[in-house]
Amino acid sequence: MTGLLFENIRIFDPATGQVAPGRLLVRDGLIVGRDSAGAEGKPEDVDIIDGDGGILSPGLVDMRVAIGEPGFEYRETIASCARAAAAGGVTTIAVLPNSRPAIDEPSLVRLLRTRGDETGIVSILPYGALTKGCDGEEMAEIAMLREAGAVAFTDGNRAIADTKRMRLLLSYAHGVDAMVVQHPEDPSLARGGCASAGALATRLGLPQIPAAAEAILIARDIRLAEMTGARLHFGHVSTAEGLELIRHAKARGLKITCDTAPPYFALNEQEITDFRTYAKLSPPLRSETDRVAVCAALADGTIDAVASDHTPWDADDKRLPFAQAAAGGTGLATLLSVTLERVHAGDIPLERALHLLTDGPARLLGLSGDRLATGASADLCLFDPDLVWTVTSGQLPGRAQNTPFDGRLLRGAVIGTWKNGARVFERSPS
Amino acid sequence: MADAAASHGRHLLGLAGMTAAEITPFLDLAASYALLSRSRTAPRDALRGRTLINLFFEDSTRTRTSFELAGKRLGADVINMTVATSSVNKGETLLDTAATLNAMRCDLLVVRHAQSGAPALLSRKVEACVVNAGDGMHEHPTQALLDALTIRRHAGKLDGLTVAICGDVGHSRVARSNIHLLTAMGSKVRVIGPPTLVSGAIASLGNVEVFHSMEDGLRDVDVVMTLRLQRERMGAGLVPSAREFFRFYGLDRRRLALAKPDALVMHPGPMNRGVEIASDVADSVQSVIQEQVEMGVAVRMAVLDRLSRLRVPA
């Protein structure tokens, strides 16, 4: 098999956290070497990939993706999700268990992993259901699911409401060294709501969810994690108050981590003016104060990863009055570009942004650390940090088109994606 | 700036962001229609050849009848469609309905829906002018216009008046539209109710003062608007009982006496006598509740007339 030599590039190495010019050689799907910029000579039997000054990083790891398969294939299939992932430079996705059936059987975990490998485009790391059917009641077979390859445990987009049950789940998960991922929203406060409480939701007459619903559950679960010693991760954190609680918990040495998603640092609640259902998300978009706090938490280390929170819906699920429309937006294809907005805005350095998209989530999911080391799988993302493009619903890769970023001009685009050394995405010249 | 949802030119979806200059022409035209209606000489040609469809996804005899009368008094062909929400649940979406109505070539579409924003969604998909006849907790613009017209007929103005809106303000589209309109016209607005029904966020709608005591809030007001308390608010744990609500937040003679001597008593209907308002107050000389109903027809005539002029026939 012909090798690949990437040159005229800057390489982001998660191991050092640095971006530096260099060349990278791939053979048989594996990374076989790197040298510094200016090195000359061409090894035998390689194709040259001229990066045109772009940045090469390990393939992005997206730790929060919902897919339609099994059970909701009309929204998204594994194949269409893989196309969206490749276009976003994502080579590994952790998939939420809220499918039909829920991922609460070891065979389903193995099936998903296999189906991901069969695409040749993306690795699927399944989350195991924390409770059977993700219904918040009976504990799932956590140890068996973990044995089958579940990377962590969660009920996905549903919080564990009952405090005693959450304590037991954390305690049991701790016993098998499994991470628990919580959707941080007090279900009783959120029930029936669809927009962040405040002036805008009041004016629009929409059922409201107080922002404190997030902090209340985070505060409860931090205390439970402390009681049990468990590893607890909060998904898509979106409020200043919630982040402050996590910041304090980390400072106390607790095993608390969190991620956020691009809508929570790129958009605020004003997006729902005019009842725009593509901006209906869960948790709902927040105030500008919260958005700014999320940006600060990206920079100061409170947030450990940026995940797309990719939630595909069919157009008919969104063509409804706001409160009745489905919550969630696609995010795979826009994950890197929207995150780079924060780099261009000066909120975070490029290296920090790339850490949050590669090494940060990889470590949380237990993937091996140095993904550019000799012998590592050549899962790579090449992007131009300055290439401008417009997000257009209807033209995104994959089946689902419900992007909250529709019409947004973004600076930074994926040029190419490689999975095990094979090119799985190439940007069309515009 | 007006909500995008409220300012789609040829539609009336809400009053948020509208200015006094935009509101006053509706009131002036409605005032003239009120006189014409009384004299039985309303012009029956203003909407001749136009089709008005009353599309009600929620029960509402009062508002639907008012729009129907308004359309007929202006010569429109009026069709009433009461769409059971169950048919929507069976798969008939709002946009399927929009496509059907487009095919029927209607000119004016009056929509009532239990979901906030539903008329706005429809307005983007139909060629007709859309009038919001009440959507969820969002707005009920023609109710606020008729309330304003009623007040103006008695007080001669809206600017400088103090209006108290009492009861279930938080869930009320009538309250929201009234707050937008009254503050735009220069009135001072007070909202009164228990914190479970009157949240602090209401104050963000404009220059609104929040009170949790009727005794404090009603002092020296020019107008008292009481709102219907839905029975389900008791079941939802927002109010312990109708009896307690009336005891602390009902408008009775004693509390009305705190307002100015000639204060108007208003209610959008239908009333829960003995819950939000005492019978003797509802039937008192200060009550203009029946006049509100009359002004409703005049206001809706004005709205239908003005909007139909904005519509370019297909």
Of residues A249, A187, A181, the one with CA closest to residue A213: A187
**pLDDT score for B155:** 98
- What average pLDDT does range B198-205 have in this prediction? 86
Mean pLDDT of chain B: 91
User: Where in the sequence is the domain holding B48, given as residue range(s)?
Assistant: 20-139+294-310
Partners of B176 on chain A (C-beta within 8 Å) are 202-203, 205
Q: Provide the number of structural domains found in chain B.
A: 2
Q: Known binder of ligand: residue B157?
A: no
d(CA A387, CA A54): 10
Same domain as B127, residue B95: yes
With CB atoms and an 8 Å threshold, state whether A203 touches B204: yes
Q: Which positions in chain A touch B201 (Cβ < 8 Å)?
A: 197-199, 201-202, 208
Residue bearing tokens 């539209």 = B177
Say what the pLDDT of residue B313 is. 52
- Chain centroid, CA A311 distance in Å: 11
A38 falls in which pLDDT band (50, 70, 90)? low
Could you tell me which of B313, B308, B298, B311 has the C-alpha nearest to residue B42?
B298
Residue B13 within any structural domain of the chain: no
Tell me the mean pLDDT in the region A123-148: 96
Query: Please, what's the largest Cα pairwise distance for chain A?
Result: 68
Residue B7: pLDDT over 50: no
For a pLDDT cut of 90, what percent of chain A falls above it?
94
Q: Is A384 a catalytic residue?
A: no
Residue ranges and CATH numbers for the domains of chain A are 3-56+376-397+412-426 (2.30.40.10), 59-364 (3.20.20.140)
User: Does one domain contain both B222 and B274?
Assistant: yes
Per-residue model confidence (pLDDT) at position A333: 97
Q: Which residue has the higher pLDDT, B281 or A430?
A: B281
pLDDT at B1: 38
Residues of B in contact with A206 (CB under 8 A): 116-117, 136-138
In a domain, B94, yes or no: yes
> Would the annotation count B260 as a binding residue?
no
Co-location of B147 and B48 in the same domain: no
Are B139 and A205 within 8 A, CB to CB? Answer: yes
Contact list in A for residue B140 (CB cut-off 8 A) is none
B86 pLDDT higher than 90: no
Residue in A62, A186, A259, A309 annotated catalytic: A309
What's residue B267's pLDDT?
Answer: 98
**Res. B87: pLDDT tops 80:** no
Dihedral of CA atoms A223, A229, A232, A237 in degrees, nearest 10, equals 30
What's the confidence (pLDDT) of residue B309?
Answer: 87
pLDDT band of residue A35 (cuts 50, 70, 90) is confident
- pLDDT higher than threshold 70 for residue A1: no
Nearest to B297 by CA among B109, B35, B53, B47: B35
pLDDT at residue A140 is higher than 60: yes
pLDDT, one tens digit per residue, over B260-280 is 999 999 999 999 999 999 999
Mean pLDDT across chain A, nearest whole number? 96
Contacts of B204 in chain A (CB under 8 A): 198-199, 202-203
Where b means 16+ CB within 10 Å and e means fewer, A186-205 reads beebbeebbbbbbebbbbbb
**A323 and B5: CB-CB below 8 Å?**
no
Measured at the CA of A342, the angle between CA A408 and CA A306, to 5 degrees, comes to 95
Closest CB from A203, A275, A316 relative to B205 = A203
Q: How confident is the model at residue B314 (pLDDT cuts 50, 70, 90)?
A: very low
Q: Are residues B166 and B274 in the same domain?
A: yes
Q: According to the model, what pLDDT value does residue B93 have?
A: 80
Q: What is the CATH number of the domain that holds B28?
A: 3.40.50.1370
> In this structure, how many other beta carbons lie within 10 angstroms of the beta carbon of residue B280?
12
Same domain, B158 and B278: yes
CA distance B16 to chain A (A): 8
Q: B140 a known binding residue?
A: yes
How many angstroms away from the CA of A210 is the closest CA of chain B?
Answer: 11
Three-state secondary-structure class, residue A425: strand
% pLDDT > 70, chain B: 93
- Give the residue on A whose Cα is nearest the Cα of B15: A203
Nearest to A363 by CA among A233, A245, A251: A233
Task: List residues in chain B touching A: CB distance below 8 A.
Answer: 3-5, 16, 93-95, 113, 115-118, 120-121, 135-139, 173, 176, 199, 201-202, 204-205
Q: Tell me the nearest-neighbour CA distance from B217 into chain A, angstroms.
A: 21
Cβ <8 Å between B115 and A207 = no
Which residue reads 């509390």 in tokens? B255
* Residue B165 domain-assigned (yes or no): yes
Q: Which helix (H) or strand (E) holds A199?
A: helix A199-204
Are A425 and A84 in contact by the 8 Å Cβ rule? The answer is no
- pLDDT score of B201: 85
Do both B152 and B134 map to the same domain?
A: no
DSSP string for B188-254? EEEEES-TTTS-GGGGGGTTEEEES-HHHHTTT-SEEEE----THHHHTTSSS-HHHHHHHH-B-HH
Same domain, B302 and B282: no
How many other CB atoms are there within 10 angstroms of residue A384's CB atom? Answer: 18
Structural domain contains residue B208: yes
Average pLDDT, stretch B47-76? 94
Worst-scoring range by mean pLDDT, A400-404, B21-25, B59-63, B175-179? B59-63
Contact flag B94-A322 (C-beta cutoff 8 Å): no
Asked whether residue B188 is domain-assigned, the answer is yes
In this structure, the answer to whether residues B94 and B161 fall within a common structural domain is: no
Reading the block at residue B115, the tokens are: 């979901």
pLDDT of residue A243 exceeding 90, the answer is yes
- Based on the fold, state whether residues B280 and B236 are members of the same structural domain: yes
Residues B38 and B119 placed together within one structural domain of the fold: yes
Residue B9 lies in a domain: no
Q: Is the pLDDT of residue B59 over 90?
A: no
From chain A, the residues in CB contact with B5 under 8 A are 204, 273-275
Does B15 map to a domain? no
Kindly tell me if the per-residue pLDDT of B160 is higher than 70.
Answer: yes
The CB-side HSE value for B1 (13 A sphere, CA atoms) comes to: 6
Residues B74 and B134 in one domain: yes
Chain A closest-CA separation from residue B46 CA (Å): 31
Confirm or deny that B62 is annotated as ligand binding.
yes
A71 interface with B at CB cutoff 8 Å: no
Confirm whether B276 is domain-assigned: yes
**Residue B206: pLDDT band by 50, 70, 90 thresholds?**
confident
Residue of B nearest to A323 (CA): B115
User: What's residue B85's pLDDT?
Assistant: 55
The pLDDT score that the predictor gives to residue B2 is: 43
CB contact under 8 A, A197 and B201: yes
B193 token code pair: 């109710």
Residue A128 has what pLDDT? Answer: 98
Angstrom distance (rounded) from CA A417 to CA A424: 6
Write down the pLDDT at residue A369: 66
Contacts of B257 (CB under 8 A, 6+ apart): none
Higher-pLDDT residue of A104 and B205 is: A104
Ligand-binding annotation for B269, yes or no, is yes
Whole-prediction pTM value? 0.90
pLDDT of residue B3: 44
To the nearest whole Å, the CA of B208 is away from the closest chain A CA by 12
pLDDT greater than 70 at residue B312: no
- Cα separation, A369 vs A230, in Å, equals 22
Examine the domain organization and report whether B158 and B77 are in the same domain: no
pLDDT band at A241 (very low <50, low <70, confident <90, very high): very high
pLDDT of the residue at A118: 97
